[in-house]
Amino acid sequence: MSTRPEILFPLFASLETLPGVGPKVAKLFEGLDIDSPRDLLFTLPVSGIDRRFRPTLNGLPLPATVTTEVVIEKHVPARVKGRPYRIDVEDAELPFQLVFFHASPGWLQKTFPVGERRVVSGKAELFDGVAQMVHPDYALTPERAGEIPAFEPVYPLTKGINLKKMHQAAEASVARAPVLPEWIDAALKAREGWPDWREALVTAHNPETSADISSTSMARQRLAYDELFAHQVMMALLRARRRTRAGRPSVGTGRLQGPVLAALPYTPTGAQERAIREISDDMAGAERMSRLLQGDVGAGKTLVALMALLVAVEAGGQGVLMAPTEILARQHMIGLQPLAEAAGVVMELLTGRDKGAERAAKLKALKNGDIQLLVGTHAVFQEDVEFADLRLAVIDEQHRFGVAQRLMLSQKGERVDVLVMTATPIPRSLSLAQYGDMDVSILDEKPPGRTPVTTALVAAEKMDQVVERLRAAVKEGRQAYWVCPLVDESEVTAKTAAESRFKTLRAALGEGVVGLVHGQMPPREKDAAMAGFVAGDTKVLVATTVIEVGVDVPNASIMVIEGAEGFGLAQLHQLRGRVGRGAAQSTCLLLYQSPLSETGQQRLQIMRETEDGFRIAEEDLAMRGAGDVLGTAQSGLPKFRVADLERQAGLMELARDDARALIASDPELKSARGEAARTLLWLMEQDQAIQMISAG
């Protein structure tokens, strides 16, 4: 299996093996991320031009692309240099002009002899009340008119590659596509009415109407499904591989969980109870747990995590909770310490700031098992950090940690269970693309005592009024965040914006009232600024987006987001979730620069309408596309050429179920369908999956 099947060789040959593609053109194709005929197969037309024959332009709404037959009446060469050359022609009913700039008169006379007929196709428009066609795309004798496609596909292009070149290369690549054995489940294929793979390719590259180009066409659905299915087979293999590696059952007794539940000032929500049950069942099972806990802002993930960690301790082991930043790690510690004490559990914090004797003492206690729960940052990964018996690792805000770190952490103990938490509601299709190998628990209810947040849109020119409102709120003893705009994504410019806003607010509200925190600060200063705000010493905290995740100040009831139109929906939702944590009525003010673009307006309007993070995530996906929602660079999201996660979300679930069923019945892909699936994995360049099968 470790070598590519011979039947696919022609598709992975160099582009220069295609007619009309030399080294220079092959280099240009790189601009479209195309390196082989295989890449061309999956680069589908984005639109099409209707070139059906029309007897006349008369009565057509112009401008429009028209194909018609004309008689050449007269040539009108340009009198002045730089003016166009015109040719008077007439179709079945209407005289009009063909117009040429910078064309050789000799060539025009030869191509359009007076008195002869030509079939022309191009964009016709009105100019000074007269119909004209500038530089027709086609001009052929009536005998050759069949060479003009009735519906011409339009491909994505790049500098130096025109439509003709692209079409020619795509056509040659499709001609090479072999008939491959079927990897889709027969019943599913019949139910959906999908064509065979090769037939789907031919149809997708030769659309006859614009319906053939839409993501709902059968050919496109089939090709998108193949891509998603290959990805989900890889996820299913990862998952199956994890399941064959036995875990260590950690069975909770309830002796520590009970006191914690009794100490809570509220009853957990149904969603929290369900998640705690799912996690406890996983931990008690024979397989290693790998679960994602997805919860909206303030849905109470931390309590669920603590309950899971207590199961590990009840079973005689240790647990670790990792946060992406020191601020967050400290915050988890502050929030969980009283509950851990209620249960009589020893809990400690380990960050990069621990040095010398203090650090050595913590490490010793951890190795002896005297520390039962550890809260930390990535400092926990360091080699000298050893546990007596680590059973559960909880990772907060997964997208900051890669898969590699997940594995490093699970190696800190013997067959460690892993629970990943994210406060970013991820649309279903993306969550399957990114976490398809994990089981998922979702917290979709808000705990009692969370007050709804009123969201208002305020134009930036009313900034003075906002500052006045803040002054009044501060007098009443309330606290506020002021988040500065995302300046071209750079921390340095964000810092400048935050510092200047800090100065203007300090001048308006007085010394000692306003604090400042941004990503460029040394950790100690950042923590001190946060601590001052948490303690209520400073009333207004000016910040860049560093406060987006996890910071919990119940007394803060106002969130001002400056330049709100520049943020993604999910980010606005995260920031808004920092207020509304106490009993006071909370407000989120979205300050925007007018005029707002249409999408800017749409985005801010959705924020006003709903506090449901999952709805916001779906809207965000529809408006911005998958890469932006997760931030492609850090998301590890696969790049799909055909599949459209926004419009074909349902296909992803179908692919997941089908892939899991296939791997369950044929884990080594040895059956006829399994062999076909192997070919698909090669075709879709799923190298990781291929290695897993080869390694058995």
| Residues in Cβ contact with 527 at an 8 Å cutoff, skipping those fewer than 6 apart | 326, 327, 330
CATH class of 257-443: alpha beta
Q: Give the closest residue to 635 by CA, choosing from 306, 302, 330, 403.
A: 403
| Shared fold status for 52-148 and 257-443 | no
Task: Report which secondary-structure segment, H or E, holds 219.
Answer: helix 218-244
Residues 550, 58: Cα–Cα separation, whole Å: 66
- Torsion over CA: 68, 72, 75, 76 (sign): negative
Tell me if the bond preceding 63 is cis, omega within 30° of 0: yes
CB atoms within 10 A of CB 237: 25
Cite the beta strand spans of 91-159 per DSSP E: 95-100, 117-127, 130-134, 138-140, 151-154
Residues 56, 337: Cα–Cα separation, whole Å: 82
Q: What is residue 51's DSSP assignment?
A: -
Phi, psi angles (nearest 5°) of residue 578: -75, -20
CB atoms within 10 A of CB 157: 14
Task: Report which secondary-structure segment, H or E, holds 164.
Answer: helix 163-176
Return the CATH architecture of domain 453-610.
3-Layer(aba) Sandwich (3.40)
Residues lower than pLDDT 50 in the chain: 1, 626-636, 696
> What is the fold, at CATH topology level, of the domain defined by 52-148?
OB fold (Dihydrolipoamide Acetyltransferase, E2P) (2.40.50)
pTM of the model: 0.65
The token pair that represents 639 in the structure block: 């790049």
Residues 177, 380: Cα–Cα separation, whole Å: 51
Domain boundaries, the chain: 52-148, 257-443, 453-610
The token pair that represents 424 in the structure block: 């970013």
CB 429 within 8 A of CB 287: no
**pLDDT of the residue at 631:** 40
Tell me if the bond preceding 595 is cis, omega within 30° of 0: yes
